[in-house]
C-alpha cells in the first residue's frame, strides 16, 4: 500500500463534520449534540441544515434518548459528544434504547484515550471500546486518520443499526492517500506487509506501529506486517487468522485499556482459530494522568506506547515464536 505523505495532517473531527455535510442532502439525516457541536465539528452540518441539528446541552442520557426517538421516527441519527461522557454517562440508554431495539443511531465520540492530555484521568476514556463491543448489536470503529473517517461515515449511514465510532482529539499525520477508499465494516487494511511478526493497531497507534516497523526493518532486519484494525467489532477474523499463520506472533497496540479492547479481541480470534503469542500493548489497568498538550508524546511514552516501546515489545515477542 502506498502511504500518505507524512506532512499531510489529519484532523478526524473536521473530517467527520465534512462527511456529515456530504450526507446532508438526504433529509433523513439528523445530528444531535451535547453542547460540543463546535468541538465535534457537527456545527458544520448545523450551519447548512439548521433544522436538523439538535443541541440538547450537557445531558448525555437525554442525547441518547432523543437520538433513539428520532430514529423511531424514521431518521438516521448521528449523536456526538466526548468519549468520557458517551458511553460514560449513558450506558443504560445506549443498551436499552438503541441496541436492544436495533435503532439507526450512530454514536461518534472524540477526545478518547490518553491524548486528551490536560483534561486528566477523569476525561481520558480508556474503557469505551471494551464497554461498547460487549453490547449486542453494537458495531465499534476506531479510524486512524481523516481519510478513514471520510470513508467510514457513509458506510455507517448505509448500514442499518447502532454504531460507535471513536475519534482522537489531536491532529496526526495521514496514513492513507486522499483517494484511498478500501474500507468496509468488519474488515481491516494491511498497511505494510511483512513475514516475521504482525503489528495490529487502531486509531493514533497505527502511525506509531508504522514508525516502529520501519525501525525494526532498518536496524534489526525484522520484517513486520502492520494492520490497521479500524473495525474492532466485527473484527476481521480472516486477516487476524492469516497473520497468526503467516508470521507466528502478534503485537497489538491501542490507546485504551488492554482489558476488553483491541488486544482482547485479537486474542479471542487467535485462541479459537490458531493460538500464537500475542503481546497486548495499551493502558495496563490504571488511570491516566494530566499532561500539557506539548507533552503528549512523553505521556504516551510513560504508559509504554511510544515507537521505541513497540520495537522492544516486537523483539521480545518474536522470541516466543515456536520454531
Active site residues: 60
Query: Using CA atoms, how far apart are residues 258 and 61, in angstroms rounded to an integer?
Result: 27
Which of 54, 61, 44, 47 minimizes the C-alpha distance to 75? 54
Residue 282 contacts residue 261 (beta carbons within 8 Å):
yes
| 3-state secondary structure at position 211 | helix
DSSP H or E stretch at residue 155: helix 146-158
Of 103, 128, 134, 91, whose CA–CA distance to 113 is shortest?
128
CB 176 within 8 A of CB 147: yes
Alpha-carbon distance values, 226 to 1, 12, 92 (Å) = 11, 21, 36
**Chain position carrying cell 488486544:** 263
d(CA 160, CA 109): 19
Amino acid at each position: 500500500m502506498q502511504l500518505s505523505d507524512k506532512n499531510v495532517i489529519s484532523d478526524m473531527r473536521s473530517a467527520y463534520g465534512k462527511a456529515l455535510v456530504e450526507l446532508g442532502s438526504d433529509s433523513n439525516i439528523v445530528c444531535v449534540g451535547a453542547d460540543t457541536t463546535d468541538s465535534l465539528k457537527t456545527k458544520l452540518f448545523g450551519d447548512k441544515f439548521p433544522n436538523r441539528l439538535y443541541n440538547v446541552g450537557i445531558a448525555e442520557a437525554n442525547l441518547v434518548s432523543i437520538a433513539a426517538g428520532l430514529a423511531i421516527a424514521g431518521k438516521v441519527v448521528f449523536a456526538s459528544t466526548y468519549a468520557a461522557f458517551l458511553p460514560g454517562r449513558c450506558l443504560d440508554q445506549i443498551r436499552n434504547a438503541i441496541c436492544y431495539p436495533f435503532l439507526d443511531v450512530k454514536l461518534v465520540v472524540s477526545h478518547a484515550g490518553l491524548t486528551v492530555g490536560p483534561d486528566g484521568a477523569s476525561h481520558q476514556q480508556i474503557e469505551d471500546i471494551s464497554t461498547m463491543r460487549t453490547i449486542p448489536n453494537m458495531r465499534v470503529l476506531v479510524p486512524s486518520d481523516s481519510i478513514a473517517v471520510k470513508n467510514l461515515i457513509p458506510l455507517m449511514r448505509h448500514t442499518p443499526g447502532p454504531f460507535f465510532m471513536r475519534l482522537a482529539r489531536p491532529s496526526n499525520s495521514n496514513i492513507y492517500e486522499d483517494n484511498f477508499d478500501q474500507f468496509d465494516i468488519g474488515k481491516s487494511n494491511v498497511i505494510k506487509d511483512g513475514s516475521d511478526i504482525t503489528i495490529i493497531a487502531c486509531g493514533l497507534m497505527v502511525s506509531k506501529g508504522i514508525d516502529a516497523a520501519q525501525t525494526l526493518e532498518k536496524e534489526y532486519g525484522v520484517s513486520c506486517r502492520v494492520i490497521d484494525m479500524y473495525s474492532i467489532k466485527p473484527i476481521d477474523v480472516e486477516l487476524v487468522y492469516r497473520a497468526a499463520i503467516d508470521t507466528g506472533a502478534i503485537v497489538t497496540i491501542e490507546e485504551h485499556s488492554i482489558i476488553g479492547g483491541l488486544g482482547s479481541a485479537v486474542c479471542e480470534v487467535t485462541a479459537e482459530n490458531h493460538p500464537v503469542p500475542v503481546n497486548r500493548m495499551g493502558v495496563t489497568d490504571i488511570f491516566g494522568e494530566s499532561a500539557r498538550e506539548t507533552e503528549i508524546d512523553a505521556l504516551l511514552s510513560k504508559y509504554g506506547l511510544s515507537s521505541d516501546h513497540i520495537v522492544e515489545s516486537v523483539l521480545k515477542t518474536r522470541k516466543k515464536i515456536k520454531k
